[in-house]
Amino acid sequence: MTDSDTKLARGAVRAFPVMGKVEGRTCLALIRKIRKSALKRIANGERDAQTIAAQVETELLQDNEVGSILVIIGIAILSGVIQWIVKQLLDNWWNREPDDA
């Protein structure tokens, strides 16, 4: 677990309180997957948050481990969490001031 993962997890729970219902290790594993997938796309030059979020969501929906999380939080919340994390990562990558929510 990295400090970045922990910060993203805490921020995601603040922005989407229902994420607090996901067990800690499971939540961090999800955040880690989102972060890794999004950063790969950002490093490849993608800058559009909506495009990155859609690609990350498509990738995650094919992951069997994410299915159990969807039962808890739902697809709409997962989509929002992904978009929020991508925005935070893009802001950090391009050294912009991130939004709180």
Q: How confident is residue 101, by pLDDT bands cut at 50, 70 and 90? A: very low
Residue 34 DSSP one-character state:
H
In a domain, 101, yes or no: no
Instruction: Tell me what pLDDT residue 54 has.
Output: 94
pLDDT digits (tens, 9 = 90+) for 43-62: 999 999 999 999 999 998 88
Q: Which amino acid is at 75?
A: I
In a domain, 99, yes or no: no
Q: How far apart are the C-alpha atoms of 62 and 2, rounded to whole Å? A: 25
Q: Is the pLDDT of residue 36 over 90?
A: yes
In a domain, 100, yes or no: no
pLDDT digits (tens, 9 = 90+) for 75-96: 888 899 999 999 999 988 877 6
Q: Which domain holds residue 9?
A: 3-93
